[in-house]
Amino acid sequence: MISSMTGYGKGYVEENDLSAEAEIKSLNNRYLDLSLRLPKFLAAKEFEIREKVKTRIKRGKIYLAVTVRRGEFEEKFNEVDPASVKLAMKVLKDIRKASGLKNKISFSDLMVFQNLFFKEDEEQAGAEMPLVEKAIDIAIDDMNRMREAEGRELEKDVRKRIKHIEEVVTKIERIKQESLENYFARFKEKANQLVSDLIDNEQRLITELAILSERYDVTEECVRLRSHLKMFIDTLDKSDDAGRRLNFILQEMNREANTINSKALASDISHSGIYIKEEIEKIREQIQNIE
């Protein structure tokens, strides 16, 4: 099954008073290009999060935003370490007792030790990372459902256009022989008028005419084009990384269509070749959105 590269997903996980929310959006891109927006305390986990996303998504411009809340408040600062606060209070009480001061310990006195009150980023991230990973997985699942649904519609359209091209190739194969025979007859008639000693050189002339006719025979191009069409459908059916491969096959299909046009003697073949190129271009536009 092929997938579109455009989609949106959202994941939310809550545990006690802690919640994690992940939003992910994907746009067309030739390669995987991942942009992250994470809380400060998850900075040390950025590489781990990137690797996790890469195992789920192959191509696209990906925007992932993660928000962690405790209660109703977004966690923009590290979690307070109660043991450090208690230790600071004990130190202040010991200082007051040793100095004989009678003043009450104020909040401003306590904040002198504020650098000790917050847990290290890595410690906090380690505790909350499982919740964040669950939210990211849910968001990716949600987005992939949208990408797969759009991919199914893209596949229907592409298959229909491939069938149209096959029908046109059949038409070209049907009329090409008549076109060659007509060309051969016209060319021979003109040669009869120009060559006075036709009787003595008739066999050689016929041989030369046959060689010229072969130059305008599109049989090989039709055979190769049919082979490319079959490979295209096989790739749709089987490939896990269809986008790039389909693009390469389209390049080869376009090459054969160009050759058919350059060889075309009959206007019907020329018009059919142009139609094939138009369909190839429409398919190319569609597969730009295939992962």
If asked whether residues 181 and 214 sit together in one domain, one would say yes
Return the pLDDT at 10. 95
If asked whether residues 95 and 127 sit together in one domain, one would say no
> Is 239 contained in some domain?
yes
If asked whether residues 11 and 141 sit together in one domain, one would say yes
Return the pLDDT at 80. 59
If asked whether residues 196 and 144 sit together in one domain, one would say no
> Mind spelling out the 3-state secondary structure of 69-126?
EECCEECCCCCECHHHHHHHHHHHHHHHHHHCCCCCCCHHHHHHHHHHCECCHHHHHH
**Number of domains, the chain:** 3
Angle between the N-to-C axes of helices 242-263 and 267-287, in degrees from 0 to 180, rounded to the nearest 10: 160
If asked whether residues 130 and 217 sit together in one domain, one would say no
Domain that holds residue 130: 7-76+121-148
If asked whether residues 210 and 227 sit together in one domain, one would say yes
10-residue block means of pLDDT along the chain (291 residues)? Answer: 86 88 90 88 85 89 90 56 70 73 71 56 64 93 91 89 89 73 63 54 59 66 88 82 83 88 75 88 84 72
Q: What is the DSSP letter of 4?
A: B
Return the pLDDT at 247. 86
If asked whether residues 163 and 255 sit together in one domain, one would say yes
Return the pLDDT at 141. 94
| Strand ranges, E, within the chain | 7-15, 18-27, 32-37, 60-70, 73-74
